[in-house]
């Protein structure tokens, strides 16, 4: 009997030690998982979970992109390298809108200068190239046109400029159909000087062009002007304006003096910014007069190595034209100029 008890105790002790060993392993494993936070069986709601590092990084990048798009102008965007450029044109930021304002004319009046001056303003986003939608590509449709526009944020306005719109018969009705509240800007210049500038540009591309005198007159001896020549026809501003006033009230148009845009750009830019409902942020401090080119340039922006002037095609020297030819052409334009002054309520002083 005593031997059986001793044998029973020996058999019991061996498995007990194994059980205790495994129990300790389980307990230690449980304690370890609890200390590291894996033993909480209650799920955490999504809105209470802390973001991961990757999520925080992604949100920070998105915020930076929004700030960047608000600060970078269209001109600066085209110069941004690599990933920074991709941030600015990402589909995630801003929307493409139809232009709220269009510079519709006139050719060789100063439209490029005006657009570049406006692009300094942080609330203006503009297409760099001339879209020519309402005169050449209207059949492509309005969605095609909208896709040409830059993305804008709330509070920014979209603009484009195509000077040939002013002399295109169909353009007023087409723009009216798009948006009857579109604001229209016309940069005008002494039509005689404008015609000579137009001829100079064409001559630079085609050196074999006939003389200005041969093109401007149907008959020099009688002084009959050839109004079929586009360089002359564009300068009959009152005729073209009549077409626009069939669709838009005069209050929808702003007439900018091309001469004053050269001699006093800041004052003329005040008028333009007021017309567009913009704060007067483009001021005299942005300009300096370039004696070589003969017109104002934008002062050097921060971070740029040089100031911004218009290209080599601007400020060309005009060929010599006899005073008699210019006098006859000025005499031709005089009644049209006077009518234009009456229609706009502005005397541009071209006489």
60 is annotated as contributing to ligand binding: no
Query: Does 112 count as an annotated binding residue?
Result: yes
Determine whether the annotation assigns residue 37 to a binding site.
no
Q: How far is CA 335 from CA 188, 202, 244, 292, 331, in A?
A: 16, 27, 20, 35, 8
Structure tokens that stand for 87 in this block = 């941030």
**Cβ–Cβ under 8 Å, residues 105 and 164:** yes
Query: Using alpha carbons only, what angle is made at residue 142 by residues 230 and 246, rounded to the nearest 5 degrees?
Result: 50
Tokens linked to 250? 């005069």
Q: Is 317 annotated as a binding residue?
A: yes
Q: Residue 107: which of 147, 163, 172 has the closest Cα?
A: 163
Report the C-alpha gap between 305 and 53 in whole angstroms.
39
User: Are 74 and 126 contacting, i.e. CB atoms less than 8 angstroms apart?
Assistant: yes
224-225 and 217-219 beta bridge pairing: antiparallel
- CB-CB contact of 158 with 126 (8 Å): yes
Residue 345 assigned as binding residue: no
Our answer to whether residue 65 is catalytic in this structure is no
- 135-to-166, 282, 298 alpha-carbon distances in Å: 10, 31, 31
Pull the structure tokens for residue 187: 């940069």
Dihedral Cα 78, 79, 82, 86, nearest 10 deg: -30
Return d(Cα 183, Cα 254) in angstroms, integer: 8
Three-state DSSP class for residue 290: strand
Give the helix ranges, DSSP H, for 304-344. Answer: 323-344
Planar angle of CA 280, 299, 77, nearest 5 degrees: 80
Task: Say whether 108 counts as a known binding-site residue.
Answer: yes
314 labelled binding-site residue: yes
Which residue in the list 13, 50, 96, 108 is annotated as catalytic?
108
Q: Is 110 annotated as a binding residue?
A: yes
109 is in an annotated binding site: yes
Q: Which residues does the annotation place in the binding site for 3'-phosphoadenylyl sulfate?
A: 108-112, 189, 197, 314-318
| Active-site residue set | 108
Q: Which residues does the annotation place in the binding site?
A: 108-112, 189, 197, 314-318
């Amino acid at each position: 009997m005593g031997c059986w008890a001793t044998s029973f105790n020996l058999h019991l002790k061996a498995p007990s030690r194994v059980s205790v060993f495994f129990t300790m392993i389980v307990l230690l494993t449980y304690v370890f998982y609890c200390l590291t936070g894996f033993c909480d069986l209650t799920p955490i709601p999504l809105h209470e979970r802390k973001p991961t590092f990757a999520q925080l990084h992604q949100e920070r990048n998105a915020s930076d992109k929004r700030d960047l798009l608000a600060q970078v102008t269209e001109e600066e965007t085209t110069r941004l390298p690599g990933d920074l450029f991709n941030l600015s044109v990402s589909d995630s930021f801003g929307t493409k809108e139809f232009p709220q304002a269009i510079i519709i004319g006139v050719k060789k009046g100063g439209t490029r200068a005006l657009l570049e001056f406006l692009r300094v303003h942080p609330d203006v986003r503009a297409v760099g190239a001339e879209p020519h939608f309402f005169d050449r590509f209207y059949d492509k449709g309005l969605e095609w046109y909208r896709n040409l526009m830059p993305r804008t944020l709330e509070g920014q306005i979209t603009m484009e400029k195509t000077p040939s719109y002013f002399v295109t018969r169909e353009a007023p009705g087409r723009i009216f159909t798009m948006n009857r509240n579109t604001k229209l800007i016309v940069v005008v210049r002494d039509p005689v000087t404008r015609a000579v500038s137009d001829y100079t540009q064409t001559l630079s591309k085609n050196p074999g062009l006939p003389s200005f005198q041969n093109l401007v007159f149907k008959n020099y001896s009688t002084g009959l002007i050839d109004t079929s020549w586009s360089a002359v026809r564009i300068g009959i501003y009152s005729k073209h304006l009549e077409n626009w006033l069939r669709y838009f009230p005069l209050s929808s148009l702003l007439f900018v003096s091309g001469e004053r845009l050269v001699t006093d750009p800041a004052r003329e830019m005040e008028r333009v910014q007021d017309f567009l409902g913009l704060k007067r942020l483009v001021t005299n401090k942005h300009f300096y007069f370039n004696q070589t080119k003969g017109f104002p340039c934008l002062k050097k922006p921060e971070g740029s190595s040089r100031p911004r002037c218009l290209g080599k095609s601007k400020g060309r020297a005009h060929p010599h034209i006899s005073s008699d030819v210019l006098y006859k052409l000025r005499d031709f334009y005089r009644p049209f100029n006077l009518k234009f002054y009456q229609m706009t309520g502005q005397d541009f002083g071209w006489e």
